[in-house]
Amino acid sequence: MPKKNTASSWIKIREAKLTDVWKISKIERDSFEKPWGIDAFIYEFFKKHSRLWVIEYNSELVGYSVVWIIKDEAYIANIAVAPSFRRKGLASFLIRHIMNEAQNLGCSSIVLEVKRSNIAAINLYKKMGFEIVGIREKMYSDGEDGLIMEKLL
């Protein structure tokens, strides 16, 4: 059931379909310096532990997440919202959905990794109750550290 966000906007989260990969891939390229290729997204559809959700805003696909369910842990492998639809609470809405689904699937925590310089994402995760639980030094090819963040469910 779609949810009314403001007086005139509807947001809805649904499972991704294979035919969504072109739109997902466009948002990915607009969001990351080193984006996943379209083949990487296609591969996710066939992985048993992978769950892909998309978020629609007034029926337009404007964001997505890729989550790996590994035993009792959910790992957010990828998440992005199209640049012109940011700061509308859409990623927060998607993460709340991931929390509910992960809990229903028996997970006790959600984990992710984020670049130290990605202030928008770090603020988002902190707002959603995630805490920094570790640092992977020089994890990225540009020498940046990765922060491990976790939310207990």
Ligand X SMILES: CC(C)(COP(=O)(O)OP(=O)(O)OC[C@H]1O[C@@H](n2cnc3c(N)ncnc32)[C@H](O)[C@@H]1OP(=O)(O)O)[C@@H](O)C(=O)NCCC(=O)NCCS
| Interface contacts to ligand X, rule CB under 6 A | 31, 79-81, 86-92, 114, 118-121, 123-124, 127
Active site members: 113, 125
Helices (H), ranges, the chain: 21-31, 38-45, 90-104, 119-127
In sequence order, the 6+-apart residues with CB closer than 8 A to the CB of 18 are: 42, 45
Q: How far is the CB of 47 from ligand X (least distance, A)?
A: 19
Q: How far is the CB of 13 from ligand X (least distance, A)?
A: 13
Q: How far is the CB of 44 from ligand X (least distance, A)?
A: 16
The nearer residue to ligand X, 37 or 106, going by C-beta atoms, is 37
In sequence order, the 6+-apart residues with CB closer than 8 A to the CB of 40 are: none
The nearer residue to ligand X, 88 or 97, going by C-beta atoms, is 88
d(CA 48, CA 1): 26
Query: How many helices and strands (H and E) does the chain possess?
Result: 4, 8
The nearer residue to ligand X, 42 or 119, going by C-beta atoms, is 119
